[in-house]
Amino acid sequence: LTYTQPDATQSQKYQDRIEKLKLSLEERNYSKLTSNLDTTPKDDAALSSMLYASSVGMNMIVAPISFGVLMYFFAGKLFSWMFGEKYDATRREGQLNIHGVIVGVISGVIMLFIEMILFVIRNHEMDKHLSQKGKKYKKNPFGYDKRTAERTFHG
């Protein structure tokens, strides 16, 4: 039995392969170590606040208008059902449906009041939640709680 010395090209390939395997093992260990970290960027507070305010504003505008338009088109059927032939006789083809306009405007205003009430309720609930959160952590007006202030102040 004799031992032959491997030639240099096989030894170099073997070393390259070992190096690749070590790198892939390190990469696998690193990805396993960092897999539970949250990598999503945090939303900017000002941006989320502006988005909330704009969505509430758009809702306060669009909901009454869309409900008023719906009721404008639905008013003819509603009045025909309620008043029957008396309503149909007063309505002329090609003229503005004044009953529909009145019902549309009134229903839009009612929807606007409903949206305002919902807005007040949502803001009250949000303020209540934020004040409870503030009491839980007992932060001062500058945003520090007692433990953080003790840790960071060295004076």
CA-to-CA distance for 88 and 54, rounded, in angstroms?
43
Nearest to 60 by CA among 10, 101, 111, 12: 111
Instruction: Provide, rounded to the nearest whole percent, the portion of the chain with pLDDT above 90.
Output: 24
Q: How confident is the model at residue 139 (pLDDT cuts 50, 70, 90)?
A: low
> What is the mean predicted confidence (pLDDT) over 1-6?
70
**pTM (2 decimals)?**
0.51
Cα dist. 43→46, 51, 130 in Å? 9, 11, 18
Nearest to 123 by CA among 44, 48, 52: 52
Q: What angle do CA 126, 130, 133 make, to 5 degrees?
A: 140
Lowest mean pLDDT among 7-11, 126-130, 146-150: 146-150
Max mean pLDDT range (34-38, 40-44, 122-126): 122-126
Q: Is the pLDDT of residue 155 over 60?
A: no
Q: How far apart are CA 21 and CA 16, in angstroms?
A: 9
- Least confident segment among 43-47, 73-77, 104-108, 120-124: 43-47
Q: Summarize the confidence of residues 23-45 as an average pLDDT.
A: 81
Orientation of helix 45-83 relative to helix 98-137, angle to 10°: 150
Is the pLDDT higher at 33 or at 140?
Answer: 33
Average pLDDT estimate for 136-154? 60
Instruction: Measure the CA–CA gap between 63 and 57, rounded to whole angstroms.
Output: 10
What is residue 154's predicted lDDT score, i.e. its pLDDT?
56
Q: What is the pLDDT of residue 68?
A: 92
**Higher pLDDT pick, 131 / 124:** 124
- pLDDT, residue 66, reads 94
